[in-house]
Amino acid sequence: MKTEFSLAAWAARAEQALDQHLPKAEAEPRRLHQAMRYAALGGGKRLRATLVYATGHVLGDAPERLDALAAAIEMIHAYSLVHDDLPAMDNDDLRRGRPTVHRAFDEATAILVGDALLTEAFAVACRSALPTERLVEIVGTLARASGSIGMCGGQAIDIAAVGQTLSLMALEDMHRRKTGALIRAAVRIAAIAGNADGAELAALDDYANALGLAFQIKDDLLDVESDSATLGKTAGKDDAANKPTYVALLGLEGARSKLRLQGEAIDQALQRLQRDSSALHAIGQWVAVRQH
């Protein structure tokens, strides 16, 4: 039986969950808490939180049970963006159409905002009303996805690769860690919360893996297709021309065809679920056609 869902409603729900679970702006230290809220609220596509709700929906879990996990994964994502924007990394002035945290506040505050968002995310995840063994698995999943074999590792590989020619395999490995790991974790933590069995976990992981690559390929395509992608960039070590991308390696048509292949992998993975997976399918379609 098909069940109703709305990706936009889940994205809006994530915003409310964040508002509820982030430290209040009036709580001391106020400047840090205001900056954390500035970084995490009021922008972003909420892809990772939407994946949490959609995976729960496919497994029959109500969104109320997943609010803390949705907030936690968006907090980790927000931390990564704040640190990625720092002068020592991408040195960006704008994020989500507003000054980056180190511009709106200051650099030390931005470092602390990232540290606090990452750390607090684990406390927020632990607010989920779940059996302890599932919570432990969820916390471990989030930690591995964020740490040196996941997102931080991908960022380190990316920094080392600036100005270098990467093979397709190396580029894919970097993206699987840098952006793919957290996207996979979003699906996995909802799957753990929803008590998915081994076969379902494997199918969902294959889905998320293909979705993560599709997201990155589309990001590279958008970078060359839209002038707005360069807004807010300061020239320097992270000049887009210096960065290895799918378009640089495969050309426009090659990258588009690789994106279509990920779409097929998404469909195949979802077929193995033997459930109404239209919500996850809709996210796959949105990733391929998104314009920002």
Q: How far is the CB of 31 from ligand GRG (least distance, A)?
A: 22
DSSP-assigned letter for residue 5: -
Task: Report d(CA 52, CA 189) in Å as an integer.
Answer: 7
Binding to ligand GRG, residues 77-136 (CB under 6 A): 77, 80-81, 83-84, 89, 96
Q: Binding of ligand GRG at residue 151 (CB under 6 A)?
A: yes
Q: How far is the CB of 207 from ligand GRG (least distance, A)?
A: 17
Q: Select the residue interacting with ligand GRG from 31, 45, 103, 243 (CB under 6 A).
A: 45
> Under a CB-based contact definition with an 8 Å cutoff, are residues 290 and 218 in contact?
yes
Whether the bond between 29 and the residue before it is cis, its omega within 30 degrees of 0, is yes
Nearer to ligand GRG, 146 or 200 (CB): 146
Nearer to ligand GRG, 130 or 287 (CB): 287
DSSP-assigned letter for residue 63: G
Q: How far is the CB of 229 from ligand GRG (least distance, A)?
A: 10
Q: How far is the CB of 254 from ligand GRG (least distance, A)?
A: 19
Q: Binding of ligand GRG at residue 205 (CB under 6 A)?
A: no
Where is 141: in which H helix or E strand?
A: helix 132-146
Residue appearing with tokens 């996941």: 150
Task: Report d(CA 109, CA 141) in Å as an integer.
Answer: 28
> Which residue in 44, 61, 87 sits closest to 5, CA to CA?
61
Chain residues in the site for ligand GRG (CB under 6 A): 44-45, 47, 77, 80-81, 83-84, 89, 96, 151-152, 155, 178-179, 219
